[in-house]
Amino acid sequence: MLHHLAMSGVDLSKATDWLHVINDLSSLVQLHLSYCKLSHIHPHVPSLNLTSLSLLDLSLNSFDSSMPPWIFSLTSLLSLDLNGCFLSVPSAHSFRNLTDLEFLDLDGSNFMNSSLVLKELSSSNLISLDIGSCGVSSLDLDSLHNLTNLLSLGLSSNELTKRIPKSLGNLCNLKEIDLSFNNFGNISLTYLLESFFECKSSALESLSFSFSGVSGHLPDQLGQLSNLVHLLLSDNYITGTIPHSIGQLSFLRTLDLSVNQMCGSIPFSIGRLSLLEVLDLGLNQLNGSLSEWIGGLSSLKKLYLSHNRLDGNLPDRLGQLTKLVSLDISFNLFTGVVTEAHFTNLVSLNSL
């Protein structure tokens, strides 16, 4: 019996009966049909036999119809990926049978009524929800507060313009949230993060606000997000200095604060981040020397410091970064000449 069918990338544009054929595979557990040039998703199926299907991937197709009710009759479904399908949602009652659903990806699905759909989802047991590019507004976010099992929440490229409601402080199990490519209209990062600081012990491992018009300073409370692995805040309007509490994020592997308006020196505490692999502070207004903290970044593979006002003698410091593969220190005030000879694994160097 067939349990796993992967046909992603296969041109099925002429296969008008694809669903009727697959519907006969009653033992199917996983079905991958990403980027198959499917245009017709068959709104009605007389008798659905896919009772064992737990994963359905229909991403990167361009369907010419709204989301069909049969998808929400898949009682064993745990993972649904409709990323980039540009489907609309015909009626929110379609979601009411999803009490056992754990994963739902509707990124790019072009909701006709995102508020109503999110309210219907609020009683589900979702652990992963991706509603990127779905026209979700700030007012819709309150509908998510009951999804306390959520581990991953994707909200990128939506219409979020206001403060994140405090009700999202209920999502203390959340490990990953993506709020990039929104327009928060110069709202302070401190206010935007307020709800996440409500948790006594935050589980957040990945936080992204890149390209979202965020302003204000990096709050000292960042150190409370002690499980963070990836912190992505690039291309915003963040000002002020990097707080010393950044050194409390001992699990951090990626720190991207590039393309902001941050000033002052890089805090010594950043040298405590021994697991850090990517540090991007480029295109800010940082000054001072790299000091002894640079030697503490023993896992660093990528270091980007270009377009700042940093100074000091470079070869003495950077030679300690034995795992470095990519380095950009251009457009600063450093002294000394840095070449590939100073490093064992370096493949990319910009030191102009």
Mean of the pLDDT values across residues 250-265?
Answer: 98
pLDDT (0 to 100) of residue 112: 43
Q: Is 302 exposed, middle or buried (0-12, 13-18, 19+ CB in 10 A)?
A: middle
How far apart, in whole angstroms, are the C-alpha atoms of residue 49 and residue 66? Answer: 21
pLDDT (tens digit per residue) in 301-343: 999 999 999 998 877 678 788 899 999 999 999 988 888 888 8
How far apart, in whole angstroms, are the C-alpha atoms of residue 246 and residue 268? Answer: 10
Do 178 and 202 contact (CB within 8 A), yes or no? no
3-state secondary structure of 254: strand
How far apart, in whole angstroms, are the C-alpha atoms of residue 328 and residue 103? Answer: 39
- Whether 276 has a pLDDT exceeding 50, the answer reads yes
Q: Is 333 exposed, middle or buried (0-12, 13-18, 19+ CB in 10 A)?
A: exposed
DSSP 268: G
Band of the pLDDT at 119, cuts 50, 70, 90? low
Of the candidates 248, 289, 242, which has an alpha carbon nearest to the alpha carbon of residue 272? 248
Range 6-12, long-range pairs (CB < 8 A, 24+ positions): 6/30, 6/32, 7/32, 7/33, 7/36, 8/32, 8/33, 8/34, 8/35, 8/36, 8/57, 9/34, 9/35, 9/36, 10/36, 11/36, 11/37, 12/36, 12/37, 12/38
What superfamily would CATH give domain 219-351? Answer: Ribonuclease Inhibitor (3.80.10.10)
Average pLDDT, the chain: 85
Mean of the pLDDT values across residues 50-59?
Answer: 84
How far apart, in whole angstroms, are the C-alpha atoms of residue 39 and residue 68? Answer: 13
pTM of the predicted protein model: 0.83
pLDDT (0 to 100) of residue 346: 92
Domain spans in the chain, listed from the N-terminal domain onward: 219-351
3-state secondary structure of 138: helix
Do 174 and 201 contact (CB within 8 A), yes or no? no
pLDDT (tens digit per residue) in 149-206: 888 888 888 889 998 888 888 899 999 999 999 999 879 999 998 888 888 888 999 9
Do 98 and 72 contact (CB within 8 A), yes or no? yes
Do 107 and 130 contact (CB within 8 A), yes or no? yes
* Residue 287 Rama label (left phi>0; alpha psi -120 to 50; beta): beta
Name residue 178's beta-bridge partners: 154, 208
Kindly report the backbone phi and psi dihedral angles of residue 193, in degrees, each rounded to the nearest multiple of 5, phi listed first: -90, -5
How far apart, in whole angstroms, are the C-alpha atoms of residue 244 and residue 325? Answer: 27
Mean of the pLDDT values across residues 59-83?
Answer: 70
